[in-house]
Structure 1
Amino acid sequence: MKILRNSDDDYVLFDLLKQGDEVAFGKIYNLYWAELYNAAYKRLPEKEKCQDIIQNIFTDLWNRKTELDLEKPLAYLHTAVRFQVLKHISRSPKNNFFAESFENELISPLQTDGKLLEREVAELIAFFIKALPEKRRKIFLMHYFDGLSTAQISIELNISQKTVQNQLTTATHALRFRLTHLFLVVSVVITAISK
């Protein structure tokens, strides 16, 4: 059953949340959970990981409720999903130290307003996508932005599923490298500023 929402009601709920209203938090959770989960799953088709991501977002939302200043609550939560998914994609066993720092200091959208970092990441991804070879770009967009599975993409493009998987792996590794590089640059700047 789809829950109908009114944006004015959303603002009221988020105002009540800031005051520590547990009932309002429960309503926000029920209203947004499925939508946010679906948004995460389209970009990262791993059921348990997506469930963890959404639970973490709601945990952070509750823990930081008094600090939030949300003009657009739904956009804010979707931004949180995008950041958490990007954080997961950027992880690599070789970069555990960087991934942990990335999570703790930069990417957690509920720990900072994240607007500057969001813009930087969005620009990086836009340039990255534009620079991909045409076939790889199309596969990447179909998978991560349209939410199609590798099987669906292989049928639609009339290529083998293995080719789709190889193209996605290549693109994902390249994106992970660029996000890690962005993290390094931003962490150097933060370190320099905080001294």
Structure 2
Amino acid sequence: MRVLPSTPASAVCVAAQCDADLVRALAQDNEKAFAEIYERYWRPLHQQAVRKLGRAEDAEEVVQDLFVTLWNKRRTASIQQLDAYLFSGLKYKIIDCIRAQLVRKAYAATAPQPHKTPSCCTEETLAAADLSLALDASVRSLSGHTQEVFRLSRVEHQSVPEIAARLQVSPKTVEYHLSRSLRLLRRYLKDFLVVVAVALQLAS
């Protein structure tokens, strides 16, 4: 969102404005103010995200998402201090990213690995093992049909029509159980994932 061609030449140069002025202009849909905020804070935010996530690609995605959120909430956000607001928002974006990474690792850990040789334990492998146990416990907590649909979909990677044919139910029924299983699993794992994500973030 760069300078619009229709912007009057007499407009105040946003580069000379303080953060508070930029925030007020942003709330009035000023794209130049948004562009200036982006230019001022993209690099330090990206550097912070790289330190926490370890990958420049993940960091860039997180920071971009943060700025998308800033623009979408430009009229409703309560921003007292811009830098504090952005870095606080970045922290939660990073936690969400780590949480998603942990979930992917946990699903991968459920696949058989007969040729994998034992390695030295690290905090990361212990956290992954704990998460795998929590995931397994959460799956076992599901009711019969819901658990079966979840395992066929996420463990055996069968499609909705394949599961429907195997269980002799309608695709809509399969979709219901799959949606219910994911909703229940998110609720079951929420507290665990937040604790592990924060721990890994602080340890990095």
TM-score (norm 2): 0.47
Structure 1 or 2, whichever has the larger Rg, is: 2
**Higher helix proportion (structure 1 or 2):** 1
